[in-house]
Amino acid sequence: MLKVEGLNQYYGGSHILRGLGFEAKLGEVSVILGRNGVGKTTLLKSLMGVVPVKAGSVSLDGLDITHATPYERARAGIGYVPQGREIFGRLTVEENLAMGLACKPGRTPIPAELFELFPVLKQMLSRRGGDLSGGQQQQLAIARALAAGPKLLILDEPTEGIQPSIIKDIGRVIRMLADRKTMAIVLVEQFYDFAAELADQYLVMERGEIIDRGRGHEMEAKGVRQMMSI
């Protein structure tokens, strides 16, 4: 579903991403791990087109999107949940969800399935996003990204600052979505246990490069937890 080849990114004179390449397959959760400052968020912003790609290529379902704008990538089928959620605090929950349908024809209804995945949102449709708890805002951010029915769902540290009960709910939803085999999921995470539980494929980043990769069930044997703490 997603293919990245030779991706390079710079900020000023700093070489942030160094020749990254990987694939994310339909029906799988690809987890990208690494400490702060290794380039994980820059990678996701490059995939989403928020940061223009300097060198390399990105394709989605066989379509070259290397130079596509963020809204063109959304239309092509990428849903993005940024770090820090970035919901619209002064809009209601319903209005936030409607924003996820911006690339669809007018009056496209909010999918009822979103309220099956996150029942709390149905009870809070008229509440402003800024009045929700951090965990509820994260659920709203994920639901907003799912509203348009993406082929690829990108999540940047969805467990950050979230209470354990909601982390468990988010993990359940991510696994359920992957198992339907209707989308690929790319998850950036620093919470090792959450990542290990969900990973079909893992990639470890260090200094803008992928230093190790493999199948999720190999993570413990290959010492991935230790790699993240070095």
List, for residues 139-159, the tens digit of each pLDDT value.
999 999 999 999 999 999 999
Query: Does the structure show a pLDDT above 70 at 230?
Result: no
Do 79 and 153 touch, CB atoms closer than 8 A?
yes
In this structure, what is the dihedral angle of CA atoms 115, 168, 142, 46, given to the nearest 10 degrees?
A: -160
List, for residues 208-222, the tens digit of each pLDDT value.
999 999 999 999 999
pTM of the model: 0.94
CATH homologous superfamily of 2-229? P-loop containing nucleotide triphosphate hydrolases (3.40.50.300)
Using alpha carbons, list the distances in angstroms from residue 125 to 119, 165, 179, 187: 11, 21, 28, 27
